[in-house]
Chains A and B, each alone.
Chain A
Amino acid sequence: MGRKSAGKALAAAAFAAALLAVPGTAARAPQAGRTLQIKGSDTMVNLGQAWAEAFNKLHPEVNLAVTGGGSGTGIAALLSGTCDIAESSRAVAEKEIAQGKAAGIVFNEELVALDGIVIVVHPSNPIGALTLDALREIFLGNVRRWKQVGGPDWPVVLLSREVNSGTHIFFKEHVLRRGKSKGPEEFSPRALMMPSSYAIAEEVSRNENAIGYYGLGYISPRQKVVAVAAGEKEPFIMPSLETVRSGRYPISRPLLLYTNGKPQGAVKAFIDFVHSAEGQEIVRRTDFVPIK
């Protein structure tokens, strides 16, 4: 995971602090002595915690508690009034909106980041486009040679992130399990578990047999990006900030924050921070796609 140097983070923090020092901004400082409960998507827990830590440096008077449990758990907690902000990697369902109406909760949606995953192969690999089904068969270990998906007669070397990576989990749930998070499918045990996206990029650029995945921010000319189609009859789409933002690229999803009605006070301060340059820099640093 690409961590920025401490110096840069410090500079960003100093810059943000300078902005806050401008007269007038103090007026919208959140009220003291409250604990903001942020709950939901496990994918977003690290992102939420990184935001909370940085936000806390600017607003030490606000206590924040970030917990996971899944997007559904977060939305349920917002419905029952036990959290202030729900983190979700999917939009609220019709049913949940109806439940909200009954409970007097109006969902306010904030798009805060995107999650897009790029499939990469060695530049000399003639494969330039794959369907989701082909990708699934490859990473389940059913495709042993590139020939089976229309490539050369080379062995397939699978590169995955370690199990602690949100990217690993998303890829597993979205591609291997076709969106059913509790499905039985697993990465082939032969898949190499790489400690970082950087390690995947390095191995893909050196090994013509390799296929791997990483966040959009890692794209470089030393690896060949594969266009992906959602199905046999769907168009092949190259991943980019635009196709991820528009939702046309099939291995991407929005990361959302939900509040009850228009955010106010500390909740508003936090969401404003998330939308700020520093908040979006944290998005990039945690391997997600910033929206700005």
Chain B
Amino acid sequence: MSRARKVREFFIEKLILASGLASVVFVVLILIFLLREAVSVLKTVSLGAFLGGRFWYPISDPARLGILPLILGSLAVTLGAVVLAVPLGIAAAFYIAEVAPRRLRGLLKSCVEILAAIPSVVLGFLGITILVPFLKNFLGLPTGLTALAGSIMLAFMALPTIISISEDAINAVPREYKEGALALGATHWQTLHRVIIHGALPGVIAAAMLGIGRVFGETMAVMMVTGNAAAIPHGLLEPVRTLTATIAAEMGEAAQGSPHYFALFGIGVVLFVISFLINLTADLFLARSRKR
């Protein structure tokens, strides 16, 4: 090995190391900044009143900074999306990986990729012009701007994530399992739901968790179709205001250094913590599925 080449490789190695470290450094810096700004909200309200308060009137004097309706709003929308997208996504993944003829498989996979490529504002626009009036008329609601509309939009956004990662997990099930089952006289369907599902389960759960993470952090489409009313929701058929939509709608005008401004950073921390927990769970399951 020539000296010049050694030097070059040394630098390339260090450069890659620095790139790897950069992402860690950024995460830590973002977290420090978020926490530093968010902590000041506790000068105005206690932690309990912030997380458990039922009223969000951030610009009133004195401001009422309770984010319970916002947390429940985010959870309602996410839960609805999970119920819609997870079974559909997993079923689609099984179909694509195990059942579909080879040619159809290619077509379906490209369709899923196209679905992933649709910008969320475009989905939101379709939601507000088509889905919202449809829901109102079909279900006889006072307004179609509801948590359910947000859930349906988000289900569309979570599907590609759930389908592709589940499909990878199914393909990763060792071939011998399937061959063994078939050799023992099991039918294709028996093999599928007795053997392959079990092998792929951790990966499929990870796919569902990553889909949920995608849904929870989504902002634009949700803001356009959920009505953004900061009242405690009693079901999916009511308007809700999500954590993300609140930050997006109010950050532009919140006076820097005001309790409102700090409260929005507090919401950011809450979002960060919940997303982190969701991703952590997904990682644990992914690690388990790789071990097998």
Q: Please give the residue numbers on chain A whose beta carbons come within 8 Å of chain B beta carbons, in ascending order.
A: 154-157, 162-164, 169, 182, 186, 188-195, 199, 202-203, 206-207, 209-210
Please tell me if B133 contacts chain A, counting CB pairs below 8 Å. yes
**Least Cβ distance of B262 to chain A in Å?**
16
Does A195 contact B69, Cβ atoms closer than 8 Å?
no
Query: In the complex, A192→B229 CA distance in Å?
Result: 4
Q: Which residues of A contact B224 (CB under 8 A)?
A: 195, 199
Query: In the complex, A209→B143 CA distance in Å?
Result: 8
Pick the interface stretch among B14-22, B35-43, B58-66, B267-275.
B58-66
Please tell me if B113 contacts chain A, counting CB pairs below 8 Å. no
Q: Which residues of B contact A192 (CB under 8 A)?
A: 143, 145, 227-229, 239
Does B57 contact A186, Cβ atoms closer than 8 Å?
yes
Q: Which residues of A contact B69 (CB under 8 A)?
A: 189
Does B59 contact A203, Cβ atoms closer than 8 Å?
no
Q: Given contacts A191-B229, A193-B241, A195-B249, is CB(A182)–CB(B61) below 8 Å? A: yes
Determine which of B132, B133, B228 lies in contact with A162 in the assembled complex, contact meaning CB atoms within 8 Å: B228
Does B61 contact A193, Cβ atoms closer than 8 Å?
no
Q: Which residues of B contact A195 (CB under 8 A)?
A: 223-224, 228, 249
Does A189 contact B249, Cβ atoms closer than 8 Å?
no
Q: Given contacts A189-B55, A202-B128, A206-B133, is CB(A164)–CB(B252) below 8 Å? A: yes
Determine which of A186, A190, A209 lies in contact with B229 in the assembled complex, contact meaning CB atoms within 8 Å: A190
Q: Which residue of B lies closest to A209 (CB)?
A: B142
**Least Cβ distance of B147 to chain A in Å?**
12
Q: Which residues of A contact B133 (CB under 8 A)?
A: 206
Could you jot down 16 A-B contacts, CB within 8 Å? A157-B143, A163-B58, A163-B59, A163-B249, A164-B59, A164-B254, A186-B57, A189-B55, A189-B56, A189-B69, A192-B143, A192-B227, A192-B229, A194-B228, A195-B249, A206-B132
**Least Cβ distance of A177 to chain B in Å?**
10
Please tell me if B109 contacts chain A, counting CB pairs below 8 Å. no
**Least Cβ distance of A203 to chain B in Å?**
7
Q: Which residues of B contact A190 (CB under 8 A)?
A: 229, 231, 239
Interface residues on B, range: 20 to 34
Which residues of B224-241 have CB atoms within 8 Å of chain A's CB atoms? 224, 227-231, 239, 241
Q: Please give the residue numbers on chain B whose beta carbons come within 8 Å of chain A beta carbons, in ascending order.
A: 55-61, 69, 128, 132-133, 136, 142-145, 223-224, 227-231, 239, 241, 249-250, 252-254
Determine which of A157, A193, A194, A206 lies in contact with B230 in the assembled complex, contact meaning CB atoms within 8 Å: A193
Q: Which residues of B contact A199 (CB under 8 A)?
A: 128, 224
**Least Cβ distance of B280 to chain A in Å?**
32
Determine which of B56, B142, B223 lies in contact with A155 in the assembled complex, contact meaning CB atoms within 8 Å: B142
Query: In the complex, A192→B144 CA distance in Å?
Result: 11
Does B228 contact A157, Cβ atoms closer than 8 Å?
no
**Least Cβ distance of A182 to chain B in Å?**
6
Does A162 contact B145, Cβ atoms closer than 8 Å?
no
Q: Which residues of B contact A202 (CB under 8 A)?
A: 128
Query: In the complex, A188→B55 CA distance in Å?
Result: 10
Q: Which residues of B contact A206 (CB under 8 A)?
A: 132-133, 136
Does B231 contact A189, Cβ atoms closer than 8 Å?
yes
Does B250 contact A157, Cβ atoms closer than 8 Å?
no
Q: Which residues of A contact B239 (CB under 8 A)?
A: 190, 192
Does A207 contact B136, Cβ atoms closer than 8 Å?
yes
Query: In the complex, A219→B209 CA distance in Å?
Result: 46
Closest 8 CB pairs of A and B: A164-B253, A193-B228, A189-B231, A155-B142, A192-B227, A157-B143, A162-B249, A163-B59
Given pairs A162-B250, A186-B60, A199-B224, 5 additional interface contacts (CB within 8 A): A163-B59, A164-B59, A164-B253, A189-B229, A193-B249
Query: In the complex, A259→B216 CA distance in Å?
Result: 51
**Least Cβ distance of A180 to chain B in Å?**
12
Specify which of A156, A163, A164, A206 lies most central, judged by the most chain B CB atoms within 10 Å of its CB: A163
Q: Which residue of B lies closest to A168 (CB)?
A: B59
Q: Which residues of A contact B250 (CB under 8 A)?
A: 162-164
**Least Cβ distance of A46 to chain B in Å?**
9
Query: In the complex, A191→B239 CA distance in Å?
Result: 9
Does A210 contact B228, Cβ atoms closer than 8 Å?
no
